[in-house]
C-alpha cells in the first residue's frame, strides 16, 4: 500500500517534469514547475526528510516558482521571436540520446549503491547531546557543519549584490521592480492585510521550534520574506530603495555575527566556529537570531530583482 503511494508520487513527479520540458508555452511550463516543486515536497516526506520538505515547499516550490512566473510574464512578448531559433531534428536526436545515456548510467549507479549503506547517523547520534539541540539537522547545520551555513549566508549576500549590480545607471541604489498596485477592495489587498500577522507568527514559530523538531531559520525566514513580498505585491507597501542604511545593516549583520561567533570560538575553544562546552546552545541561538532578519531580507530582495526606479 505504501509502495503504491511512493510509486504514485514518483510517477506524478516525472509527469510534471515532462510537462515542464515539453510544454510549448513558457508560462504553462513555469506553472508546471511550481507544481512540480510542491509534489516534490511529498517525496521528501516519504524519504523522512521533513526539514527538506519544508525548505522545498517554501523555497523550491514557492519562491522559485514566484520568481520564474514573474520572469515569464515579463518576457511574454519575446516568445514568438524565440521560435525562429528552434533547434533542428538532428540536435534533438543527439540531445535525446545523451540524456537517455546519462539516465541509464545513473540508474545503474542507483541500483549498484553499496548495501550496508555508509552513514554518519551514528556519529551524529553520539555527539548530538553536547550541542543541546534535539533536531539532528539543526545540530549538523549549526554545530557540526556550521562553516557551511556561514559560507551559505555569505554566498546569498554575494548573489544579492550580483543581482543589484545589474541596475541601470540611472536607477543605481533605487527601488527594485515596478510599483505594484492592486484593487484596494480586491481579494489580493484583503489577503495582504489579513495573512501577514499570521504568517509572521508561523514563521517565528517554525524558526524557534527548529531546535528540537523539524523547522529552522531557513524555513521561518522564507515565510516572513513571503509575507513581506505579499504586502509589496498588493501595493500596500513599496519596495525600499536598496541604498537605505537599515537594509544594508540588516544584510551585513547576520554574516558578521556568524563570523564574530566563529572568532570567539577560535579564541575560547581552540578552533574557528568551535563552541566552548556548555555554551553551544546560547551561541547557536545568537547565530540564528542574527541570521533570521538577514535571510528574510536576502530572500525577499532577490525575488524583487535589480533596482528599476531611481530614488527621487
Q: Which of residues 167-186 bind other proteins (CB under 8 A)?
A: 168-170
Count of residues near other proteins by CB under 8 A: 96
Does 203 participate in binding other proteins (rule CB under 8 A)? Answer: no
Rounded Cα distance between 261 and 69, Å, is 39
Question: By CB under 8 A, which span of 71-79, 196-204, 234-242, 244-252 interacts with other proteins?
Answer: 71-79
Rule CB under 8 A: is residue 112 a binding residue for other proteins? no
For other proteins, which is the closer residue by CB, 23 or 204?
23
Max CA-CA distance within the chain?
A: 65
Nearest to 218 by CA among 162, 147, 138: 138
Q: Which of residues 273-292 bind other proteins (CB under 8 A)?
A: none
The residue (of 108 and 245) whose beta carbon lies closer to other proteins is: 108
- DSSP-assigned letters across all residues of 71-115: HHHHTGGGHHHHGGGPPPHHHHHHHHHHHHHHHHHHHHHHHT--S
* Lookup result for grid cell 556519529: 123
Identified binder of other proteins from the candidate list 127, 130, 132, 162, rule CB under 8 A: 162
Q: Beta-carbon neighbour count of residue 282 at 10 Å?
A: 11
Beta bridge pairs of residue 175: 309
Residues in 10-69 that interact with other proteins by CB under 8 A: 10, 13-14, 17-18, 20-21, 26, 29-30, 33, 36-37, 40, 43-44, 46-49, 51-52, 55-56, 59-60, 63-64, 67-68
d(CA 268, CA 264): 6
Cα(143)–Cα(273) distance, rounded to whole angstroms? 8
Residues in 135-154 that interact with other proteins by CB under 8 A: 136-137, 139-141, 144-145, 148-149, 152
Q: What is the 3-state secondary structure (H, E, C) of 161-179?
A: HHHHCCCCHHHCCCEECCC
Alpha helix (H) residue ranges in the chain: 2-22, 26-46, 50-55, 64-74, 79-82, 89-111, 121-131, 136-139, 146-164, 187-209, 217-233, 245-268, 280-304
The distance of closest approach from Cβ of residue 273 to other proteins in the complex, given in angstroms and rounded to an integer, is 15
Q: Binder to other proteins among 216, 220, 254, 265 (CB under 8 A)?
A: 216
* Sole binder of other proteins in the list 28, 91, 183, 201 (CB under 8 A): 91
Nearer Cβ to other proteins (49/190): 49
d(CA 137, CA 146): 11
Binding mask 241-280 for other proteins (x = CB under 8 A): ----------------------------------------
Rule CB under 8 A: is residue 166 a binding residue for other proteins?
yes
Of the two residues 89 and 245, which places its CB atom closer to other proteins in the complex? 89
Nearest approach in angstroms of CB 145 to other proteins is: 6
Strand 307-309 and strand 175-176: the pairing is antiparallel
Residue nearer to other proteins on the CB measure, 107 or 198: 107
- Does 305 bind other proteins (CB under 8 A)? Our answer is yes
Q: How far is CA 18 from the centre of its chain?
A: 23
CB of 255 to other proteins, least distance (A): 14
Amino acid at each position: 500500500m505504501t509502495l503504491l503511494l511512493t510509486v504514485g508520487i514518483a510517477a506524478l513527479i516525472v509527469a510534471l517534469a515532462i510537462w515542464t520540458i515539453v510544454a510549448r508555452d513558457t508560462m504553462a511550463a513555469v506553472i508546471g514547475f511550481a507544481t512540480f516543486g510542491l509534489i516534490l515536497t511529498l517525496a521528501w516526506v516519504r524519504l523522512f526528510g521533513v526539514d527538506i520538505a519544508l525548505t522545498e515547499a517554501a523555497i523550491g516550490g514557492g519562491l522559485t516558482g514566484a520568481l520564474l512566473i514573474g520572469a515569464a510574464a515579463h518576457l511574454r512578448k519575446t516568445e514568438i521571436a524565440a521560435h525562429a531559433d528552434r533547434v533542428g531534428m538532428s540536435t534533438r536526436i543527439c540531445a535525446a540520446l545523451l540524456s537517455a545515456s546519462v539516465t541509464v548510467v545513473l540508474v545503474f549507479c542507483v541500483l549498484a549503491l553499496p548495501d550496508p549503506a555508509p552513514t554518519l547517523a551514528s556519529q551524529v547520534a553520539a555527539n548530538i547531546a553536547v550541542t543541546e539541540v534535539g533536531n539532528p539537522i539543526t545540530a549538523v547545520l549549526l554545530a557540526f557543519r556550521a562553516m557551511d551555513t556561514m559560507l551559505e549566508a555569505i554566498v546569498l549576500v554575494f548573489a544579492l549584490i550580483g543581482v543589484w549590480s545589474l541596475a541601470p545607471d540611472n536607477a543605481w541604489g533605487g527601488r527594485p521592480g515596478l510599483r505594484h498596485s492592486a484593487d484596494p477592495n480586491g481579494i489580493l489587498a484583503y489577503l495582504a492585510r489579513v495573512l501577514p500577522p499570521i504568517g509572521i507568527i508561523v514563521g517565528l514559530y517554525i524558526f524557534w521550534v527548529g531546535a528540537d523538531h523539524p523547522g529552522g531559520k531557513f524555513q521561518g525566514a522564507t515565510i516572513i520574506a513571503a509575507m513581506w513580498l505579499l504586502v509589496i505585491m498588493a501595493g500596500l507597501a513599496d519596495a525600499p530603495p536598496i541604498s537605505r542604511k537599515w537594509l544594508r545593516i540588516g544584510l551585513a549583520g547576520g554574516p558578521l555575527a556568524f563570523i564574530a561567533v566563529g572568532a570567539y570560538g577560535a579564541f575560547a575553544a581552540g578552533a574557528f566556529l568551535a563552541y566552548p562546552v556548555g555554551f553551544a546552545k546560547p551561541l547557536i541561538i545568537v547565530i540564528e537570531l542574527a541570521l533570521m532578519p538577514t535571510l528574510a531580507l536576502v530572500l525577499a530582495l532577490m525575488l524583487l530583482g535589480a533596482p528599476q526606479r531611481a530614488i527621487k
